[in-house]
């Protein structure tokens, strides 16, 4: 399968976007049955490049992905209004970052 299309899986997940060789490749939106969703770049069925991920609880991540993990520069925005900006290494915060509270207070470290 090549081009653009929609796939709905038996578990209720869905994908709408670009395909190449029957794999998610290019830009697309994946929605999990639990309410989580990802919009961004794909390579061989894995999140790769730039993308945004929303958790069903209201938290959001905007940034870089590699091998289906948050990897590189990104920002996590919590539903309560707090934010973390910094680097990620395979889904874990790494190195120095900035935590910005909803009230504007900033913590670096």
Predicted local confidence at residue 4, as pLDDT: 87
Predicted local confidence at residue 51, as pLDDT: 98
Q: Where are the beta strands (DSSP E) in the chain?
A: 3-8, 14-20, 23-31, 37-43, 46-54, 60-66, 69-77, 83-89, 92-100, 106-108
| Cβ proximity of 39 and 51 under 8 Å | yes
Q: Cα–Cα distance between 99 and 77 in angstroms, integer?
A: 10
User: Domain 3-108 classified CATH 3.40.50.150?
Assistant: no
- pLDDT higher for 40 or 6? 40
Predicted local confidence at residue 1, as pLDDT: 59
Predicted local confidence at residue 35, as pLDDT: 97
In the chain, domain spans: 3-108
Contacts of 104 (CB under 8 A, 6+ apart): none
pTM of the model: 0.89
Predicted local confidence at residue 96, as pLDDT: 84
Predicted local confidence at residue 26, as pLDDT: 95
DSSP bridge pairs for 91: none
- Give the pLDDT confidence of 60-89 residue by residue, as tens digits: 999 999 999 999 999 999 999 999 999 999
Query: Is it the case that residue 3 has pLDDT exceeding 80?
Result: yes
- Give the pLDDT confidence of 19-58 residue by residue, as tens digits: 998 899 999 999 999 999 999 999 999 999 999 999 999 9
């Amino acid at each position: 399968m090549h081009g653009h299309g929609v796939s709905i899986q038996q578990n209720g997940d869905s994908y709408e976007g670009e395909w190449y060789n029957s794999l998610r490749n290019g830009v697309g939106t994946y929605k999990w049955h639990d309410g989580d969703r990802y919009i961004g770049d794909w390579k061989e069925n894995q999140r790769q490049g730039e993308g945004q991920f929303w958790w069903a609880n209201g938290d959001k991540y905007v940034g870089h992905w590699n091998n289906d993990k948050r990897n590189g520069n990104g920002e996590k925005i919590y539903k309560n209004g707090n934010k973390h900006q910094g680097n990620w290494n395979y889904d874990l915060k790494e190195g120095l970052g900035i935590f910005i509270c909803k009230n504007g207070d900033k913590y670096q470290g």
